[in-house]
Amino acid sequence: MTVTRIGPMSVARIAGVLYAVLGFLIGCGISLATMMGADMTPETPGMAMLPSVGAAAVFVLPLVYGFAGFITTLVGAAIFNLLAGVLGGIEIETR
């Protein structure tokens, strides 16, 4: 079996959601780290804002990662379709 074309939008939608989930997990880690870091530091003027920056990561990173994953996969799938037409695609062996 040879894959000669993939649907760019279908692949981009799945990749966008996968990257958004990854961004959420990373955002949760950043949020947790900033909250723990704010508790461990002495009272300084700049540290009061640290937990809110970490909390924002939970909302911002999934959007950024999801959008970037969607766009790069969309472009990558379109380039694959062009190259597969010239080079013949990808051979896959199944059982």
Distances (CA, A) of 94 to 58, 89, 91: 40, 16, 10
Instruction: Please compute the mean of the pLDDT values over residues 68-75 and round it to a whole number.
Output: 97
pLDDT tens-place string over residues 31-66: 888 877 666 666 666 555 666 777 788 889 999 999
What pTM value is reported for the model?
0.77
pLDDT at 47: 59
What integer pLDDT is reported at residue 8 of this predicted model? 94
DSSP string, 36-73: HHHHHS---GGGGGHHHHHHHHHHHHHHHHHHHHHHHH
